[in-house]
Amino acid sequence: MDLFKNYVLFYKGLLLTLFLLFLYLPSVNQTDYVNSTITSKTVFFLYALIVTLSCWGLQMVVNKNKQRAVKISILDVLLALLLVFICVNRYVLQSNYGFSIRFIELLGLSLLYVILRGLPVKHFVWILFAIVLSGVIQAGYGNFQLLGYYPSNHSGFKMTGSFFNPGPFAGLLTSVWTMALGLYLYREQIFKQFLYLSTSSTLRLNTLIKYTFEYILLLAIIGILLVVPASQSRASWLAIAITTVILLEFKYCYLKKLFAKISRFKKVMLSMGLLIVLGLSLFGIYHFKKGSSDGRLFIWKVSFEIIKENPVVGVGFDRFKAHYMDAQANYFAEHGETTEAMVADNSYYAFNEFVQFVVENGLVGLLSLIILSVLLFKTKVEKENTYISNILKTCLLAISVFACFSYPMQILPIKIILVAALAMLTTVNAKVYEIKITQSNTMHKVFKTSLLVIAIFGVTKASLYANVLNEGFKTWQYALSPYGSYEDVLEDYKAVYPLFKRDGDFLMNYGKTLCLEKKYPQAISILQQAKQHLNTTIIETALGDAYKGIKQYEKAEITYKKAYHMIPSRFYPLYLLANLYDESGDKTKAVTMAKRLLDKEVKIPSTAIKEMKTEMKRIITKHNTSSTDKKSQYK
């Protein structure tokens, strides 16, 4: 009896930790972490997962049932194979790999998927409810930011929620929208199947639960509708519009009934009309922020060049940022400063998760993803779970539509919703293979002992690593903060270098600081390491400064030109080149470059550009005066 009580206790603890994880994760933003809107969520997720794994392991250890049944579907197998391929591709097939928050999250999300797969269907509603509540909190946060009660996390945007810009914020609310609307549309089925489980519950309690659930769903729907338009995220608008129509069709079958009544000609005309409306909507969305749209199209164009060079297995998981800017520089070096240069910028993401997935995992990964997606959306379920399947599939579709124009797979709170939807959809799958295992007393004890040892070892190792990451991100942020001398900052960088020595952003910050401290040889070494994992104009210009500092002018010229070719619309690389030529005594190149910069089209006027142009005029005047003086000496 005690064992049974312990089992129930640990199982309730498991459900509670899962509920709190889904509820609180999107709101985490500890500002003492570097890139706090990302890294603090990762650290919180790791600690929460450790607690969840502990409860999960303990409830399995105290379970006295000697007969176990493992249910596996084809979707489980395909997801496992895809994970194995990503790991093998990252560590074996590729020549290099970097420190990756995304990969750490991938491993954690895989464990979370296994835990969620073990939950019975009747408990799904509480996970879905936690997701909706998290959306209510974020929608409220966004509204308060718009009203000026809370600051945003980006100086260029008034509303960001707990994220670094409105894009990920709108992506999360889009994911929650489908859950909230779907649960509200099917609320009567949910009340009957899930919320009235206890026959001993009083009518008053059941009524309270019903109205609480219903009003929170309405609050989420209204809150998201108020906030998402202000985010100006076209991807979220499109995803919400499409999934709303689909959910309403699932529930009320308006189009199905209409198509059953009208003639074939009218069906064709209606279908064409819907396609025209969709086309006009896409056209309007494109022109709403045309510059941003053109920028995405250009990124996809360059990304396909990377795919051509690495077609089979890609460049490796989370290695897009290590290759993209080099490819963009090669494009402009070959084609010159085209009109596309005005929309080019430093890019970490492809702004299309499917394009980025192929860049990183090649055609092998793409084939796996296509097979998985087809089987996923063709999943058959028992009749009583049809509405759950409709909600979950629509949620996956919403994330997929958003993923066509943004980067949700870089955002942990969106990925955790995706994993929950996958796990739940796989659980309600009618086609599963059940493996029953009956254990003897001895084998049962061996199994529980082994499980306990593995759990203790795994939790201990995970806790230690989470602690190291926790302190590492804080130290890195401390090094970026304006305090003390550069020498003190460099000590902080040295302290966490073993942990982040494969992180391109960290090495960029470290190398830039070394350069500012005029430790040029060390800066060159660190910045060259950074280029293996990330490349940007910042790294190239810092590297050029370091080469210039040790009088290696030819190498400095190469890196400055590389920075220019990465983003030809920028003035700064040309400014650095003109000053380099001036310092090295190449007067002809200095004047030519100065004139080129003065004639260059300004993308966004600024004080910095005015100051650079003033400096270029000084260089031209200096050398023209020098030439005049020399001519006068010969007269």
Pure H helices in 232-315: 234-252, 254-261, 264-288, 290-309
pLDDT at 1: 44
pLDDT given at position 68: 61
Separation between Cα atoms, residue 633 and residue 627, nearest integer Å: 10
Question: Rounded CA gap, 13 and 416, in Å?
Answer: 19
Q: 343-347: which pairs have CB atoms within 8 A and are 24 or more residues apart?
A: 343/291, 343/294, 343/295, 343/298, 344/295, 344/298, 344/566, 344/567, 344/568, 344/569, 345/295, 345/567, 346/536, 346/537, 346/538, 346/566, 346/567, 347/299, 347/321
pTM over 0.85: yes
Distance CA(459)–CA(348), nearest Å, equals: 33
Residue closest to 330 by CA, chosen among 317, 344, 312, 348: 344
CA 74 from centre of chain: 27
Least Cα distance to 157 among 54, 227, 101, 219 occurs for 227
- Quick one: pLDDT at residue 559? 95
Instruction: Specify the pLDDT at position 125.
Output: 86
SS3 597: helix
Contact (Cβ atoms closer than 8 angstroms) between residue 172 and residue 136: no
Q: Do residues 62 and 6 make contact, with C-beta atoms less than 8 angstroms apart?
A: yes
Q: Give the pLDDT confidence score for residue 453 in this predicted structure.
A: 78
DSSP category for residue 93: I
Low-confidence ranges of the chain (pLDDT < 70): 1-7, 61-70, 194-203, 287, 430, 434-445, 447-448, 482, 484, 625-635
> What pairs with residue 438 in β-bridges?
67
Distance from C-alpha of 48 to C-alpha of 43, rounded to nearest angstrom: 9
Radius of gyration for the alpha carbons in the chain, expressed in angstroms and rounded: 29
The model's pLDDT over 229-286, given as tens digits with 9 standing for 90+, comes to 988 888 899 999 999 999 998 888 877 777 777 877 777 887 788 788 878 877 777 7
Reduced to 3 DSSP states, what percent helix, strand and coil does the chain have, rounded to the nearest 5?
Answer: 75, 0, 20
Spatial distance between the Cα atoms of 452 and 61, rounded to a whole number of angstroms: 7
SS3 sequence, 444-486? Answer: HHHHHHHHHHHHHHHHHHHHHHHHHHHHHHHHHHHHHCCCCCH
C-alpha distances (whole Å) from 214 to each of 209, 222, 583 are 8, 12, 71
